[in-house]
Amino acid sequence: MAAGATRGGGVTTDTYKEARTWLLMPAWLVLLVLSLAPVSMILIYSFLTKEFRGGVIWDFSLAAYDQFFFDRGLFGDEAPSIEWTYITIFWRSIWQAGAATLLSLIIGFPTAYFIATRPEKVRPIWVFLVTIPYWVNLLIRTVSMKFLLRDQGPLNDFLMSTGLIDSPIHIVNTNFAVQLGLFYSYLPFMVLPIYASVERYNFSLSEAAADLYATKWVALRRILLPAIKPGVIAGCILVFVPSLGSFLAPDLLGGAKNFMIGSLIEEQFKGNAGNWPFGAAASMILLTMVLIILLIFARQQAKAEKREG
C-alpha cells in the first residue's frame, strides 16, 4: 500500500501510523521509566567505586566484578584465585529455583488440568480458590509459612498428636523449607498459563487417540503435552525467574546456610556497610543469566515451530 493511501473508513495510512504511535506512547514511557531507567542505573553503579560508609564514588572501576569472580586475599595483595563463595551462592540459587519450578509443575499441571476439565460454570470458582491466598502480601504469607513449619508450629503439633512422630521435625532453616516457600509463593504462575492452554485444547483429539487404542499415557505424551507446551514453558519461566532472584523465602525460611543470590544482593544495599557497586554487579550478572535462559527457551521454541511448520 503506497504512503498516504486510504485504509477502511477513509483513514490514510500516515494518519493510522501516527495514531498508533501516539497510542503506544504511554506504554513506551512506562517501559522506559519503570524498566530501562532502573536497569541503566544499576548497570552504571556496577562500574563505580564503593564509598566507605555506603553509596558510591563516581570513579570508573571493575572492582565489583573482580570481587565477584576472583579472590585476591584480605588486603588485595595476593595472587587472584577463583572466588567460589559467590559462584556457589549462584549455583544454589539455580538449583533451588529449578527444584521449586519442578515441584510447581508436578502439582500445577494436574491442578490446571482438573480445573480446565470442570464444567464451564464452576471453572471461575476453582481459579478463584487458587488465587485468593495470593491477595495477601508475600511477606505475610512467607512469615505464615515459617510459623506453620517451625518446630513448635501447627504442622509438628498435628503430627505429634496423631502419633506419626515422637519429636518435632526440624524443617525451618533447611533447603526443603526454602523450596516449599518458593513453591508456595509462585504456584499460581504455573497453574494459570497451563490452565489457559488446556482450556483451549481440543479434547476430541484425545478421544480420537483412545478410539485408535492409544493408552492414556501415550495420549498425554504424544498429543496433550505437545499441544499445551507453550503454556507449560510459560509457567516454568514465570516460576523459575522470580524464584531465582527471591530473597524473602531464603531469608525467612532458609537462614544463613541457605543463602541465595537475591539475599546477597539485598544485603549489599542495606545499611551503611553495604557495597552498592558489588550489589549492582551481582544484579547485572543475575539479569544476564536470566536473559540467557530466556533466549535459550525462545530459540528452542522457534526451532520447534519451524520443524512443525
120-144 average pLDDT score: 89
Tell me the average pLDDT of the chain.
85
Q: Is the pLDDT of residue 1 over 60?
A: no
125: left (phi over 0), alpha (psi -120 to 50) or beta: alpha
Q: Is the pLDDT of residue 280 over 90?
A: yes
Render pLDDT for 54-103 as a digit per residue (tens, 0 to 9). 778 889 999 899 888 888 776 666 777 888 888 888 888 999 999 999 99
Query: Residue 111 is placed in which grid cell?
Result: 491442578
Give the C-alpha separation, 200 to 111, whole Å. Answer: 16
Instruction: For residue 164, name the pLDDT band (cuts at 50, 70, 90).
Output: confident
E strand or H helix at 63: helix 63-69
Check: CB of residue 42 under 8 Å from CB of residue 277. Answer: no
Q: What is the pLDDT of residue 187?
A: 92
Give the C-alpha separation, 69 to 256, whole Å. Answer: 21
Domains of the chain: 87-268 (1.10.3720.10)
Could you tell me the pTM of the whole model? 0.82
CA-based R_g, the chain, Å:
25
Query: Residue 103 is placed in which grid cell?
Result: 515441584
Q: Which of 181, 185, 190 is nearest to 134 (CA)?
A: 185
Instruction: For residue 135, name the pLDDT band (cuts at 50, 70, 90).
Output: confident
Q: What is the pLDDT of residue 116?
A: 92
Instruction: For residue 23, name the pLDDT band (cuts at 50, 70, 90).
Output: confident
138-162 average pLDDT score: 88
Q: Is the pLDDT of residue 5 over 60?
A: no
Tell me the sheet residues that pair with 12: 6
DSSP state of 132: G
Instruction: For residue 262, name the pLDDT band (cuts at 50, 70, 90).
Output: confident
Question: Mean pLDDT highest for which of 50-59, 183-192, 210-219?
Answer: 183-192
Q: Which of 162, 157, 139, 238 is nearest to 195 (CA)?
A: 238
Q: What is the pLDDT of residue 272?
A: 63
User: Side chain identity at 209, as an amino acid letter?
Assistant: A
E strand or H helix at 81: strand 81-82
Residue with the larger pLDDT of the pair 153 and 4 = 153
Q: What is the pLDDT of residue 12?
A: 67
